[in-house]
Amino acid sequence: MVVLKGIPSLLSPELLYALAKMGHGDELGLQIPALLEAILKLFPLDTYVRSPAAVMDLVDSDKELGVETPVWTTYIQMIKQAGSQGSLETVERFAFYERAKKAFAVVATGETALYGNLIIKKGVIPPGELS
């Protein structure tokens, strides 16, 4: 349990440690909007790439069935609220798995939304925003 002021309780000490250890361009795989909201309070998204966040693209059979991914809309809104001008990248299923394997850290949650997995890329904090 986190017992510091201003730190969202969803962020465990281990996750805070991983976030602090990450460098510019390192990636973090996660699954849940509430956790994303907490992380984005501390975590600058990469502004030097077109897409600082990626989701797994639908497999062909789900595209044919018209499966919807409303959680992606939530992610896009949250990323924009965090100040990112980048878009949400869709990555082919097996390429997404490989990318997640290479992520700096992967956060396992109980997220149940279809295609709810998300990878975010860490950026840098502009000098004017450093405390």
What positions carry a catalytic annotation?
A: 24, 46, 97
Distances (CA, A) of 44 to 50, 79, 90, 116: 15, 10, 21, 21
The answer to whether 53 and 79 are in contact (CB under 8 A) is: yes
In 72-85, which positions are buried (b, 16+ CB within 10 angstroms) versus exposed (e)? Answer: beebbebbeebebe
